[in-house]
Amino acid sequence: MLKAAQNYFAEFKVLQSVTKEFWLTNAIIFFDSLAYFSMMNILTLYLTANCGFSDVESGAWTGIFSLYLTAFVFAVGSICDAIGVKRSFYFGMLMLIASRLGLGVAPELLKGASLEYTVKGMIILLALGSAFITPVTSTALRRFTSKENRSTGFNVYYLIMNVAAIFAGFAVTDGFRNSLGELKGNLAILDFGFLMSIFCFVCVYFINEHQVADEDERAPSTDEKARRPIQIFKEVWKESAFRKLVLFLALTLGVRLVFTHQFLVMPKYYTRVLHGDFDLGLANSINPAIIVVGLILLIPVINKYNTFKLIVVGMTISALSLLFMAVPIEWTLAIPGIRNLDQAYLFIIYSQIIVFALGELIFSPRFTEYISVVAPKDKVASYMALSALPMFIAKPINGFISGMLISTYSYDGIRAKIDTGNISYRESPEFMWMIYFLLAALSPFAVIAMKRTLTAAHAAKKAEEAVASAESAPVQA
């Protein structure tokens, strides 16, 4: 374990030669992730408590935010190459500054329909601004790193993003909500996001985009990644490999959507089965903390195993994590040492978070690998970009469903009724989680059912690569 950690950090030595632009980009990632994750932790709560949206509406609008975010990522991917890194950053940041400020002050200044429509408009603007960040930061990192230190550079990026997610939870979310209360705390978190966007804006100002590490990266990318998304989609949709991939991704949505529950369902679930001032930020910090530790210690060990097995094992673990919250709460109360509902709910919540994160750590990186395996060699980037399609469709549907399930099974005040024995299993939050568990449990079964297709594609690709490398190898006398 210690060796794995030493090896992980030893790799960072290659970053001694990177320019200040690389570190400024990482500072932007850190500040923006702090703002993004702290906002996501409270978005549904903010929409309900501060803006008066019902559970159904707040779930729907959190889902709609994700939908527009995914859609705009498709659209702005090619903008960066057209207008440059710095201008793209400026555009994105200006939209983030305006939307985060708008969301932070609107409930104080407006009410009724004007508040509702302003907030909805700001959410769409926020989605557009956030959509700029991912493609622009990855382009910036590509340009500000050389071939030698690029993969380490991206590892640092992933690490920094997760560290920011940890701090966004227990420090920012809980810090503001505990000291200012729910209503003012939520607004302060959004205002904090506005401040972080200004910090990002200042960092962008100091970036010199001509400081490119490799001359090859100076010119706008002409590879397929830079082409327009609709054009790419029209091309690859005709291929049976792509359609199979979409089917596979759709079948595995149940488990992959559990990650979105962290922001859609969990905040309301936590604050309703426990109490309104529950440290939800701390709970949401556990997942990125496990990912960070896992990245350093577990990934090198896990990588030795077969991809298919890892997907099945990881998905099964992640799906099973929901079972903690899906079984009748009386079963949890029967565990020795658990005396009351507070302890029972804390136990199932933390167990679910930890077990899900371990499963996610195993299966999530395998997905990217799988897509690259089934994609034809010249279309890997197109397949990668369009692999978000099932998620694009599922996110808003999940938003609406989550809102409806919460308003039925985890409504505000349900804990009082659970305490006094008025809630049967069929009416309980546990039943809601049983529905989510059954959806998630479909994923590993679907992967097993598609084993032949998946492994055949993998084998064919390997054989093709073996032939290609044999043909290109120098003939020995």
Partner 1 sequence: MKKYLPILKDGFTLLVISTIFVSVCNQVFKGLKKNTQSDPLVTAILQDNRDSAKENLTDATRANRPDELGRTPVMWAAYVNLADAKQLQETDGKRAELVALLAQSGADLNLQDRDGWTALMWAAWSGVPQVTARLLENGANLTHTDRQGNTALMIAVQRGNTEVVKALLAQGADGKSALNLLKDAQAKYPNRNEAYQAIASLLSQG
Residues near partner 1 (CB under 8 A): 48-50, 52-54, 56-57, 60, 64, 67-68, 71-72, 74-76, 78-79, 82-83, 111-112, 178, 181, 183, 228-230, 271-272, 274-278, 339-340, 342, 393, 396-397, 400-401, 403-404, 407, 411-413, 415-417, 419-422
| CB-nearer residue toward partner 1: 362 or 394 | 394
Mention every residue, 6+ apart, whose C-beta is less than 8 A from residue 141.
22, 25, 150, 153, 154, 157
In the numeric block, which tokens belong to residue 212? 């490119």
- Least spacing, CB of residue 404 vs partner 1, in Å: 6
Which of residues 54 and 211 has its CB atom nearest to partner 1 in the complex? 54
CA distance 274 to 282: 14
Least distance in Å: CB of 59 to partner 1? 9
Compute the least distance from the CB of residue 365 to partner 1, in Å.
28
Q: Which is nearer to partner 1, 359 or 396 (CB)?
A: 396
Q: How far is the CB of 279 from partner 1 (least distance, A)?
A: 10
Nearer to partner 1, 145 or 387 (CB): 387
Longest dimension (CA), the chain: 86
Q: Which is nearer to partner 1, 45 or 313 (CB)?
A: 45
Nearest distance from residue 233's CB to partner 1, in Å?
Answer: 10
**HSE-CB for 20 with a 13 A CA cutoff:** 6
Q: How far is the CB of 265 from partner 1 (least distance, A)?
A: 16
Residue 407 in tokens: 């308003």
Query: Which lies closer to partner 1 via its Cβ, residue 222 or residue 340?
Result: 340
**Cβ closer to partner 1: 182 or 430?**
182
Q: Residue 76 CB, nearest distance to partner 1 (Å)? A: 7
At residue 309, φ and ψ (nearest 5 deg) are -60, -40
Closest distance to partner 1 from the beta carbon of 72 (Å) = 7
- Rank residues 243 and 339 by Cβ distance to partner 1 and give the closer one: 339
